[in-house]
C-alpha cells in the first residue's frame, strides 16, 4: 500500500531532504508540488523527479490567487511561456483559483476581477493541454465552480474543500474531486465536506508546510489525513488508502 500527497508546497519546506525521507518511510510514494507564481512554478519543474529515497515528486504549475494581485506582466509572461514550452513536464495546473477572503481582495473589490482574469487564463491552458487543475476556492466556491464548468475543464480537484453543500454536490455530480487535508481531524466545514463526498471523489494531501493547530505539516503527515478520513467514513485505513491512491493516480495520470 502507498500514499500520494496530492498538494504540497515543497519549496517552502525547511529540511526538504529529511522531510522526503520521512515521507517515504511513511509509505508516501509520490508528492505533487504546486507552484504559486513564476519562481515557485520554475522551482517545481526543476525539482521534480525521483528523490534518493525513491519517492517521486511531480510538478504542477500555476498562479495562486494570493499572487494574482502582485504578479507583474514580465513574470506572468514567463510563467505562460514555461507552461506552453514544457507541456510534457508537469502533471497539473495549480495552485490556481479564487480567494475572496484574502486581505487584498477584501480591501479592493477590483482584486476579484484580477483573480478571475488570471484563473480563466490558467483554466484555458489546462483545457488546451488536457491537464487536471488543483483549485484554491476559499470564500469563492460558487464562482470557482462556475468558471471551471464554463471553461469545460475535464478534471479538477477542489483542494481542501470547505465550502457549502450545494457546491459540493455539484462538484461531485460533475465528476470532479475534493482533497482532504489534516484539518479533516478538526475543522467543522472541512469535515462536513469530506463526510458528504463519496470516497470515489476524494484524494489526500497535506498542503505542506501549512500549520495545523500550530504544527508545521510535511508530506509524511498525509497519514494523518488518511486517519481522519477513515474515521469520518467509518472505514478501515487500508481501504481508504487504496481507494484514494487509486483516485490520485487516475486524476493526475501518474
Ligand atoms: Zn496550497
**pLDDT level of residue 108 (50, 70, 90 thresholds):** confident
Task: Name the maximum alpha-carbon separation found in the chain.
Answer: 50
pLDDT greater than 90 at residue 7? yes
pLDDT of residue 65: 95
How far is the centre of ligand 1, averaged over its atoms, from the C-alpha of 134 (Å)? 9
CATH architecture of 3-252: Alpha-Beta Barrel (3.20)
The domain segmentation of the chain, as residue ranges, is: 3-252
C-alpha cell at 137: 476556492
How far is the centre of ligand 1, averaged over its atoms, from the C-alpha of 156 (Å)? 14
DSSP state of 108: -
Per the CB < 8 A criterion, the answer to whether 183 and 160 are in contact is yes
**pLDDT level of residue 177 (50, 70, 90 thresholds):** very high
How far is the centre of ligand 1, averaged over its atoms, from the C-alpha of 109 (Å)? 23
Question: Whole-prediction pTM value?
Answer: 0.97
- Measure the CA–CA gap between 152 and 253, rounded to whole angstroms: 19
SS (H, E, C) 201-251: HEEECCCCCCEECCEECCHHHHHHHHHHHHHHHCCCHHHHHHHHHHHHHHH
How far is the centre of ligand 1, averaged over its atoms, from the C-alpha of 133 (Å)? 12
User: What pLDDT, in 10s, does the model give residues 51-101?
Assistant: 999 999 999 999 999 998 888 999 999 999 999 999 999 999 999 999 999
Amino acid at each position: 500500500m502507498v500514499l500520494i500527497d496530492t498538494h504540497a508546497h515543497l519549496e517552502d519546506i525547511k529540511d526538504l531532504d529529511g522531510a522526503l525521507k520521512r515521507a517515504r518511510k511513511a509509505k508516501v510514494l509520490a508528492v505533487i508540488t504546486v507552484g504559486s507564481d513564476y519562481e515557485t512554478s520554475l522551482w517545481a519543474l526543476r525539482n521534480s523527479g525521483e528523490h534518493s529515497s525513491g519517492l517521486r515528486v511531480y510538478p504542477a504549475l500555476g498562479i495562486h490567487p494570493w499572487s494574482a494581485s502582485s504578479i507583474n506582466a514580465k513574470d506572468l509572461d514567463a510563467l505562460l511561456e514555461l507552461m506552453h514550452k514544457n507541456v510534457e513536464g508537469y502533471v497539473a495546473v495549480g495552485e490556481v483559483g479564487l480567494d475572496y477572503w484574502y486581505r487584498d481582495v477584501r480591501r479592493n473589490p477590483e482584486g476579484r476581477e484580477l483573480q478571475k482574469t488570471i484563473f480563466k487564463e490558467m483554466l484555458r491552458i489546462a483545457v488546451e493541454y488536457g491537464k487536471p487543475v488543483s483549485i484554491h476556492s476559499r470564500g469563492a466556491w460558487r464562482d470557482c465552480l462556475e468558471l471551471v464548468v464554463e471553461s469545460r475543464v475535464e478534471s479538477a480537484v477542489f483542494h481542501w474543500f470547505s465550502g457549502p453543500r450545494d457546491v459540493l454536490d455539484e462538484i461531485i455530480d460533475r465528476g470532479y474531486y475534493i482533497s482532504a487535508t489534516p484539518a479533516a481531524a478538526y475543522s467543522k466545514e472541512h469535515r462536513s465536506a469530506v463526510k458528504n463526498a463519496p470516497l470515489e471523489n476524494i484524494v489526500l494531501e497535506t498542503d505542506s508546510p501549512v500549520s495545523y493547530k500550530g504544527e508545521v505539516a510535511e508530506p509524511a503527515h498525509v497519514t494523518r489525513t488518511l486517519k481522519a478520513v477513515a474515521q469520518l467514513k467509518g472505514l478501515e485505513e487500508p481501504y481508504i488508502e487504496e481507494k484514494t491512491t487509486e483516485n490520485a493516480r487516475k486524476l493526475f495520470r501518474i
